[in-house]
Structure 1
Amino acid sequence: MELTEAIQEIKKQGYKTTTKRKDMLRFFASADGYRTAKDLIQYLEPAYKGISFDTVYRNLYLFDEVGVLETTELNGEKHFRISCTHQHHHHFICKECGKTKEIEVCPMDEVQQALSNYAIEGHKFEIYGICPICQEA
């Protein structure tokens, strides 16, 4: 998803697209991988002195609910990234830098066979490790 798509989606769902919200989304649109609320606050602090964690988290959870951000948990902390909107895929996520690599393989065919009498409503498949760049560092 691109920045303009994310802003349009927020408007479409009836939420205001303030300058602050656009700046938050701009941060994630330019980030390469998952980032934390703390990363976002450091990015916003020069323009929004004293921005609160409450404001940031409230907007992050709104963005997740609206579907413009994806979340994962790394090292016991929520991380966020701009949502992917193209074909179905999953991610390898570096535990050091948060960068992601798309994985086209999906294990759901096998899972659906193993759970044939269950009503599966969704899934999330992520692989965690250390990317080649962080391994070299």
Structure 2
Amino acid sequence: MNVKKTSAQRHTRQKDAVLRALRGSSDFMSAQDLHQQMSQTGVEVGLATVYRQLKSMAESGDVDTIQLNGQQLFRLCEDHAHHHHLVCEHCGKTVEIEPPDELWVRKVAGEHGFIVHSHTLEVFGLCEDCRAAA
């Protein structure tokens, strides 16, 4: 049986290069910063390709993405289970956190007449190092 792979499933040289670069950072980063980091280490991949690969990986759930200060940021999380983040608005330091339980989410939604299909929780603030430097 011949199974056609979708672009999200296909492993290309570019996708592998982006994944390797993402593994080098535990924090969220922009496509531009990732591209710059890759270029500095001698990896030749175009910025448009980095954007395309990150978009594909975000859509397939292979990377997490958040919006911070008007930018879309990406992070490779090895834990593919549902999880949430505490993110420093200044340096991008990221910590995975335990969210309120599902019962709380559904209770709050129900109080307002909503049925929950999905949820995302990202908590933004300043990490200890950035507060100390300010």
Match of 1:126 in 2: 122
Alignment map for 1:42-121 (pairs within 5 Å) = 42-45=36-39, 46-48=42-44, 51-85=45-79, 88-106=82-100, 108-116=102-110, 117-121=113-117
State the Cα deviation string for residues 57-110 of structure 1 (Å, max 9, x = none): 111100111111010011100000013426543211011111111221326433
Residue-pair matches, total: 125
Q: What is the TM-score of this pair, normalised by structure 2?
A: 0.79
Task: Kindly name which structure, 1 or 2, has the bigger radius of gyration based on alpha carbons.
Answer: 2
CA distance in 2, matches of 1:12, 1:52: 21
Equivalent residue of 1:115, what SS?
helix
Two-structure CA RMSD over aligned residues (Å): 2.3
Q: Is the 8 A contact 2:62 2:80 kept in 1?
A: no
Deviates more, 1:88-97 or 1:33-42: 88-97
Task: Name the structure 1 match of 2:27.
Answer: 33
Partners in 1 of 2:48 and 2:70 — Cα distance? 19
**SS at 1:47 equivalent:** coil
- The equivalent residue for 1:6 is none
Gaps of 5+ in 2: none
Distance in 1 of aligned mates of 2:107 and 2:116 = 11
Per the TM alignment, residue 19 of structure 1 is displaced from its structure 2 partner at its CA by: 2.4
TM-score for the superposition, normalised by structure 1: 0.78
- Unpaired runs of at least 5, structure 1: 1-10
> Match for 2:43: what amino acid?
A
Cα 1:44–1:16 shift into 2, 3 Å: same
TM superposition outliers: structure 1 runs of 4+ over 6 Å: 11-14
In structure 2, distance between residues paired with 1:113 and 1:15: 37
